[in-house]
């Protein structure tokens, strides 16, 4: 359990630094105190094992304290992107009622508009006001709900799932046992904690090992370089876009980054160009980690000669079984491409709101079928080569093309639309909308209207970078959209 892991770390490393957030520093003892107070405050607002809490906060002390307070109470935490529009917030919470929503004290504009009736909304720092005492102990002997991540679905509706306290603890154990992070490490908490990459590989990794977590709310090159220098950051979980940009930044060469010992990316394929630039700039290899919302981290490339296997996401973490399989479920030979599947004690067992038949397509006898394509080499290194699902990887985010299409289709001038990932720089993708207008007309004006509509309805990373107008969408004789002709 994350709560038990936190208690053990507090016991062992109480006076050592736990969190650095700007000028604010908390020891493990101080963090435990803040978590206890927040848990008491949340409990006073009826949050508990059967009443979940939505956390709509950027990376910072309040995210960490609120998330850990949920774990302390045995309450389900539903972390959501603070950049979401009210519409996106409403869609994510539609299938997962929560008791309350914690946001920044300024309050995200219009956040209450996305909240279902009867849900309270409060600023994080206001919560503790007047709270005293200790929080109730959660019921024993029950695998309590811990976190509710979302995975993009094929319908434009976000697909949510419960991961339990035991599953989160198993994820933290696997990372700890495999990667060997210790209380002497300093982890940079730059990637979003509301996402499984940041949650597992920054926050949970820190709680499990006693490593210090240095929090940054957004990607600013100077702030990242300054944090690495000042705090002597040793572990850097990241995404390819951030690494490419940092490595291209000339003044990074003058920064004191010798403390970095482990840097790794997840969420999108790592281009060889980025790998080489990073090694030249920072003198450490950039490794790849592979994971998903359903199970957290699954593999990491810790190869001693990572130069030879840079394109690989490595081997499974301890306790995880991995197989690349043919359509009939039989394992592929080394080098043979198939679907990536795994069995992990950290994985959820079902999506919420889906029929047992629909769930059976992804969860088969304790194994999760990822929908990703890949192959293993003779040494068991995994290479991810494609996706059977259609997500677009852009600047470290996953965008569901169907969600963007649903918004664009609302414009009366749009007869048909398909959203695809077009090739961007260094292996990244850009969101591209191919639109068939109802009538010929001023394309520049229509483009501006479509982008304004997207900006009102969608977080900024989902707004198409490229809008192309066509007379028709290419389709196969069976009516299947031929996406490869649209990128």
For the chain, the helix, strand and coil percentages under 3-state DSSP, each to the nearest 5: 35, 25, 40
**319 alpha carbon, distance to own chain's centre:** 22
- Scanning 131-139, 213-221, 309-317, 321-329 for contacts with other proteins by CB under 8 A, the matching segment is 213-221
- Scanning 18-26, 93-101, 109-117, 218-226 for contacts with other proteins by CB under 8 A, the matching segment is 218-226
249: contact with other proteins by CB under 8 A: yes
- Give the DSSP per-residue string, 295-335: TEEEEE---TTTTTTTT--BEEPTT-EEEEE-TTSPBPPTT
Least Å distance between CB 106 and other proteins? 19
Least Å distance between CB 486 and other proteins? 14
30: contact with other proteins by CB under 8 A: no
241: contact with other proteins by CB under 8 A: yes
- CA neighbours within 13 Å on the CB side: how many for 265? 27
- CB closer to other proteins, 315 vs 398: 398
How big is the site for other proteins, counted in residues (CB under 8 A)?
A: 27
- CB closer to other proteins, 120 vs 219: 219
Among residues 255, 258, 259, 256, which one has the least CA distance to residue 233? 259
456: contact with other proteins by CB under 8 A: no
- CB closer to other proteins, 221 vs 483: 221
Least Å distance between CB 84 and other proteins? 15
465: contact with other proteins by CB under 8 A: yes
- Give me the torsion for CA of 307, 309, 310, 313, rounded to 10°: -150
| 326, 376 contact by CB (below 8 A) | no
Distance, in Å, from the CA atom of 37 to the CA atom of 45, rounded to the nearest integer, reads 13
Distance, in Å, from the CA atom of 38 to the CA atom of 70, rounded to the nearest integer, reads 9
Least Å distance between CB 408 and other proteins? 14
Given 46, 50, 177, 222, the residue binding other proteins (CB under 8 A) = 222
273: contact with other proteins by CB under 8 A: no
- CB closer to other proteins, 160 vs 240: 240
Least Å distance between CB 273 and other proteins? 13
Residue 24 CB-density burial (10 A; 0-12 exposed, 13-18 middle, 19+ buried): exposed
Distance, in Å, from the CA atom of 341 to the CA atom of 293, rounded to the nearest integer, reads 14
420: contact with other proteins by CB under 8 A: no
Least Å distance between CB 430 and other proteins? 5
Least Å distance between CB 44 and other proteins? 38
374: contact with other proteins by CB under 8 A: no
At residue 266, the 3 state secondary structure works out as coil
268: contact with other proteins by CB under 8 A: no
Given 27, 119, 259, 425, the residue binding other proteins (CB under 8 A) = 425
Please provide the distance, in angstroms rounded to a whole number, between the alpha carbons at the two ends of the chain.
Answer: 44
144: contact with other proteins by CB under 8 A: no
Question: Residues 6 or more apart from 352 whose CB is under 8 A from it?
Answer: 95, 96, 148, 159, 160, 161, 162
Least Å distance between CB 462 and other proteins? 10
Given 117, 130, 250, 355, the residue binding other proteins (CB under 8 A) = 250
Q: Which residue has the tokens 């809008």?
A: 467
Least Å distance between CB 460 and other proteins? 5
- CA neighbours within 13 Å on the CB side: how many for 427? 22
Based on C-alpha coordinates, what's the Rg of the chain?
Answer: 22
316: contact with other proteins by CB under 8 A: no
- CB closer to other proteins, 23 vs 357: 23
**432 alpha carbon, distance to own chain's centre:** 22
- Scanning 113-121, 135-143, 184-192, 455-463 for contacts with other proteins by CB under 8 A, the matching segment is 455-463
| 301, 287 contact by CB (below 8 A) | yes
Given 369, 447, 470, 483, the residue binding other proteins (CB under 8 A) = 447
- Scanning 20-28, 63-71, 298-306, 445-453 for contacts with other proteins by CB under 8 A, the matching segment is 445-453
Residues numbered 387 to 406 that lie near other proteins (CB under 8 A) are: 394-395
448: contact with other proteins by CB under 8 A: yes
- CB closer to other proteins, 126 vs 222: 222
Distance, in Å, from the CA atom of 375 to the CA atom of 380, rounded to the nearest integer, reads 9
Question: Residues 6 or more apart from 145 whose CB is under 8 A from it?
Answer: 49, 52, 74, 75, 76, 162, 163, 164, 165
Question: Which positions lie near other proteins, rule CB under 8 A?
Answer: 219-223, 241, 245, 248-251, 394-395, 422-425, 430, 447-448, 451, 460-461, 463-466
């Amino acid at each position: 359990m994350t709560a038990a892991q936190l208690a053990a770390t507090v016991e062992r490393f109480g006076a050592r630094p736990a969190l650095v957030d700007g000028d604010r520093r908390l020891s493990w003892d101080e963090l435990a105190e803040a978590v206890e107070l927040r848990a008491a405050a949340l409990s006073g607002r009826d949050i508990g094992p059967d009443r979940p809490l939505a956390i709509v906060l950027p990376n910072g002390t309040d995210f960490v304290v609120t998330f850990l307070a949920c774990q302390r109470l045995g309450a389900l935490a539903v972390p959501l992107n603070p950049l979401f529009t009210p519409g996106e917030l409403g869609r994510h919470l539609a299938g997962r009622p929560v008791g309350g929503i914690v946001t920044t004290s300024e309050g995200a504009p219009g956040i209450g508009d996305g909240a279902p009736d009867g849900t309270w909304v409060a600023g994080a720092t206001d919560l503790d006001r007047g709270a005293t005492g200790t929080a109730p102990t959660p019921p024993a002997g029950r695998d309590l709900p811990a976190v509710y991540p979302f995975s993009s679905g094929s319908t434009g509706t976000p697909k949510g799932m419960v991961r339990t306290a035991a599953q989160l603890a198993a994820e933290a154990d696997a990372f700890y046992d495999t990667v060997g992070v210790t209380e002497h490490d300093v982890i940079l908490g730059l990637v979003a904690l509301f996402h499984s990459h940041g949650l597992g590989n920054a926050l949970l990794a820190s709680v499990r090992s006693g490593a210090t977590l240095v929090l940054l709310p957004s990607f600013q090159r100077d702030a990242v370089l300054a944090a690495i220098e000042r705090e002597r950051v040793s572990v850097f979980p990241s995404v390819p876009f951030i690494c490419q940009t940092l490595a291209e930044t000339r003044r990074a060469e003058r920064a004191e980054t010798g403390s970095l010992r482990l840097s790794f990316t997840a969420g999108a394929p790592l281009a060889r160009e980025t790998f080489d630039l990073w090694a030249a700039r920072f003198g450490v290899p950039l490794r790849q980690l592979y994971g998903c919302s359903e199970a957290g981290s699954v593999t990491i490339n810790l190869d001693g000669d990572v130069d030879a296997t840079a394109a690989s996401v490595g081997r499974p973490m301890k306790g995880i079984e991995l197989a690349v399989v043919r359509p009939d479920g039989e394992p592929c030979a080394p080098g043979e491409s198939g679907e990536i599947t795994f069995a992990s004690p950290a994985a959820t067992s079902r999506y919420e709101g889906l029929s047992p038949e629909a769930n059976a397509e992804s969860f088969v006898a304790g194994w999760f079928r990822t929908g990703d394509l890949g192959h293993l080499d003779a040494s068991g290194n995994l290479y991810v080569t494609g996706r059977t699902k259609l997500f677009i990887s852009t600047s470290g985010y996953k965008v569901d093309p169907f969600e963007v299409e649903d918004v664009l289709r609302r414009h009366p001038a749009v007869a048909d639309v398909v959203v695809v990932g077009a090739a961007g720089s260094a292996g990244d993708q850009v969101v591209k909308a191919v639109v068939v207008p109802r009538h010929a007309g001023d394309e520049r004006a229509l483009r501006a209207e479509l982008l304004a509509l997207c900006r009102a309805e969608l977080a900024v990373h989902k707004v198409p970078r490229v809008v192309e107008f066509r007379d028709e969408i290419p389709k196969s004789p069976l009516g299947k959209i031929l996406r490869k002709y649209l990128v």
